[in-house]
Structure 1
Amino acid sequence: MTTPITPSTPTSEPQRPSSSTPVWCGIVPPYVLEALATSGDPHLEERARETLRLDQLRYERHGREHSLRDGGAVVSRRANRSTTEEPNRIVHDAENTTRLPGTRVRAEGDPATDDTAVNEAYDGLGATWDLWHTAYDRNSLDDRGLGLLATVHYGRNYDNAFWDGSQMVFGDGDGEVLLGFTRSLDVIGHELAHGVTQYTSGLVYQDQAGALNEHISDVFGILVKQRALGQTAEQSDWIIGAELLGPTVQGVGLRSMKEPGTAYDDPRLGQDPQPGHMRDFVVTDGDNGGVHINSGIPNRAFHLVATTLGGNAWERPGAIWYAVITGDIRADCDFATFAALTEAAAVTLHGEGSAEAEAVRAAWREVGVTEGAESAPGSPPVPGAPSPTPTPSPSPSPSPTPAPDPGRVTEPREVQLRRTGGFAGLVRERTVVLDQLPEIDALAWRSLLVGPEPRLQEFAGGPMQPDRFSYGVSCAAPPIDLTIPEPALPDTVRDLFDRTLGT
């Protein structure tokens, strides 16, 4: 069970972390919210749309307190530790608005309130702090005693929870498909683990590195829950978000680390898209390269290590993974490199030929990442495999480009809008003929798309953020193909996108 935490009385609000790397980590993947937004149920669609709208309001504004990289490699992992190693939790209530942090309702050492969400958040922050401190000798997320801030009742029927680079934020869910997010201890642990990643490996939120970012959060999120419940690896259900699904949903949670791809199969949510082997690796431009999807592969590897070794997963398996994320890992690490790092850490901690080292090697083989396994399309070759030599093709003669007619304005007729990302990873896509939209929306789209430098380009090209949505906008004429991070959008444009998607 969780070691009791001795409360301390804070003298001030916890210091907020700063980060030069934009961080925004929501627990529900975009493909889940997008499925709800097109479920055919007006009640669910409205609430999913509102969640997607609010997800665009938050944008990382803080710069990182310390530079962690030199040429892409992490050069420092352990900052000067605070002399006080006690949790400092403060919970606020947004009162169904989107103002953060909201009204302060419970601080470290205060008695429980009459609000279940407040108490669940407070206890979840404590259980997470306790895992990092007791199991890994880490003094909060930054190893310097960072205070833990949380806000509950964010928005109205908000279907998400996220770490925004400085605090946790919890929605109440729609009450039908997704319930209140403070209910799930592993969700709280997952999002706070994004904070640890922010201060350690800094894994970029794209492609395989981004999937590892999500994987790390799932690992330490499930370990928070297992430790709090006193569960061994064999006793755990290995389900992320088991407490979040409503009673009518056909599923057991948002993700299964034991059997990726089996967590849900529901008319409103769709089917769990996660693979558990590299042969099923999903190549996609959405979801920042499938970060919520392909994380199923390393998730299954960790489950195999933990159940092979048995006992408490936060001990030997968790310590190996912790050594990797606080060691010499690059921010652009891929699956094969991460596998090699975990194998090396197991040997360092337990010796060559140890049960731990063999369990780690076997797990990565089992999921197809190492030792001659078939590479996923678009993924780096497995170490040791020969790289094919491409045959150069003759370059075609360039076609003459007609000079643009400065007096001619190309009116857009059709636009394709696609939303990916989010904790649940749901995808939503729609192609619309502008003349068939309400006149005010058609005019708004044209104002964004027309011109030598379309206004929409102002919002594109920003950094992607963990567990946030991203939007793809494409148009044949004028030729436009943009990817836009959700938090970079002004409210008016965000609302236009929501209306266009029917969310």
Structure 2
Amino acid sequence: MTRTCRCLNCIIPPHLLRRLLESESREVRQAAMNTLLNSARLRGQRSLRATFGIGLSAAPTDGRRSIFDCENRARIAGAVLVQTEQGEASRDTSVTRAFEGLGTTRQFYREVLNRNSIDDRGMRLDGYVHFDTSYNNAFWDGQQMVFGDGDGVVFTDFTSSLDVIAHELAHGVTEHVAGLEYHLQSGALNESMSDVFGSLVKHWSLGQTADQADWLIGAEVFTPGVDADALRSMKAPGTAYDNDTFGKDPQPDRMSKFVQLPDTEEGDWGGVHINSGIPNKAFHLTATGIGGYAWEAPGLIWYEALRASGPTTEFQEFADRTYLMAEDLYGAGSIEQQAVQDAWRQVGIRISRTAARRRPGQRRKGDLLVGEEAGYDGGALAALSRQMETLSAQVHALSKEVSALKGDRTPSEAGGPRGRPANAKLGRLANS
């Protein structure tokens, strides 16, 4: 039987919090212990809700935002509503940053990927700030986004980082799109998808190209006294920090360095926050290999590959799907497809022969092969294949039109912070 983990999707990996338990500072040790204990309690609550289906559905609201103040209590129930879409702006900086971060992320999915909120059905976006006292984390619990204020010694207010907000909300997207199980390779891929889309939201909001971006996750969550660049580096996994407080960043950047850890809570469910460095690096290499804005072709390829994935998808399967998606969207042998293939090769994953050599009658757009060896219902997939063939032809024609239009547009018009990128049209067509 497949094991699943109904975990809180937290931005701070457990191995960092455990290192803080060894701190010389009693204040830091206590904050780390409280964070671990309260996270375990909340994890149990989420598991109970999921088991009995409590509170897992709500009327669509077109992504309406609501921010609540937990007033430093370690519970969400009873939190005070402090800002809504219709209400006045709050004077609380944490409230404002959470509200704006949710809005920017919502707008990214709407304009770039034509996605209506987290579930693509207008799911409301609820944020809770000032959770607990000195809580060193931020998390998505399947329903809402929760922010701690940090202990003020090592970590600061978690609303300060846009890519952290977008990272956590992306867990919700992954949950609704593919349901990647949160352990081992599928769990590491789950974490990587959040890093990818967390970064893309930040790039998009700043109008940065792949070469201009820093590719850091959570650079703002540390206090000035901590010698660390960020929680993770997608550009150079394993280099985000190296200090006495946390030790050296353990993320690998290729399969030969894959870290084997127990599939337990203490083992970070097989190292999901650690081994995510491998697909992270592959995305960075793809984005810089293609050039331009990473939220355009690279982001669209990764998003559509995610849509074609399932709960147990692992690195090899996902690599193959990105390769096939690049061909479906941009053509066989295109710069985009070559960049995808080369990126995965550099992290030690070679595109499989079944993906590289599609055979007539077994081609399914953007997914695995159709046929008995693929283990799917061939009749249903054949129908879907025909539909996707039609869509692909439309995408190809639209791509030519977009290319012609982009030649006459400025970068901001082509996809700046408030512009609609060319691939928004492609994403809308692919989602239809």
Relative to the length of structure 2, the TM-score reads: 0.75
2:303 counterpart residue number:
322
Which structure carries more helix by proportion? 2
Residue 335 of structure 1 pairs with residue 315 of structure 2: yes
Which residue of 148, 157, 167 maps to 2:144? 167
Distance in 1 between residues matched to 2:50 and 2:75, nearest whole Å: 21
| Counterpart residue number, 1:240 | 217
Could you say which residue in structure 2 is the equivalent of 1:434?
A: none
Choose the corresponding residue for 2:49, options 44, 62, 71: 62
> What residue ranges of structure 1 are gaps of 5+ in the alignment?
1-19, 67-80, 373-503
Contact 1:89 1:149 in 2 (8 A): yes
Contact residue 22 and residue 165 of structure 1 kept, 8 A: no
Secondary structure at the aligned position of 2:274 is classed as coil
Q: What corresponds to 1:87 in structure 2? A: 63
Match of 1:33 in 2: 17
Q: Does 1:351 align with 2:328?
A: no
TM-superposed CA distance for 1:64, in Å, is 8.8
Uncovered stretches (5+) of structure 2, i.e. residues with no partner: 54-58, 353-432
Q: For residues 182-207 of structure 1, what are the alpha-carbon distances to aligned partners after superposition, in whole Å with 9 as ceiling and x for unaligned? A: 00000000000000111110000111
Q: Counterpart in 1 of 2:157?
A: 180
- Tell me what 2:115 maps to: 138
**What's the % identity of the aligned pairs?**
49
C-alpha distance in 1 between matches for 2:314 and 2:5: 19
TM-superposed CA distance for 1:330, in Å, is 2.2
Structural mapping, 1:250-289, within 5 Å: 250-285=227-262, 286-289=267-270
> 2:253, 2:311 → 1: CA distance?
23
Kindly indicate whether the alpha-carbon contact (under 8 Å) linking 2:323 and 2:351 is maintained by their aligned counterparts in 1: no
Supply the AA of the counterpart residue of 2:222.
L
Amino acid corresponding to residue 29 of structure 1 in structure 2: P
Alignment-derived partner of residue 230 in structure 1: 207
Q: Superposition RMSD on alpha carbons, in Å?
A: 1.9
Change (3 A) 1:41 1:21: closer
- Residue in structure 1 matched with residue 348 of structure 2 by the alignment: 368
Higher strand share: 1
Q: Output the CA distance in 2 between the equivalents of 1:214 and 1:174.
A: 24
Q: Would the aligned equivalents of 1:39 and 1:267 in 2 still touch at CA under 8 Å?
A: no
CA–CA distance in 2 between the matches of 1:95 and 1:370? 50
Q: Deviations over 1:281-302 (max 9, x none)?
A: 1011111111110000000000
Which one has a bigger Cα radius of gyration?
1
Alpha-carbon offset, residue 371 of structure 1: 5.5
What is the CA–CA distance in structure 2 between the aligned matches of 1:370 and 1:40, rounded to whole Å?
46
Determine which of 270, 276, 287 is the counterpart of 1:306. Answer: 287
Amino acid in the other structure paired with 1:239: L
* Aligned 8 A contact 2:236 2:253 in 1: yes
- The aligned length equals 337
Alignment check: 8 A CA contact 1:87 1:108 kept: no
Return the offset for 1:94. Answer: 0.3
Identify the match of residue 76 of structure 2 among 83, 100, 111.
100
Deviations 1:78-129 (A, max 9, x none): xxx96x7x43000000000022151100011323211000000000000110
Q: Answer yes or no: is the 8 Å Cα contact 1:127–1:224 preserved in 2.
A: yes
TM-score of the pair, normalised by structure 1: 0.65
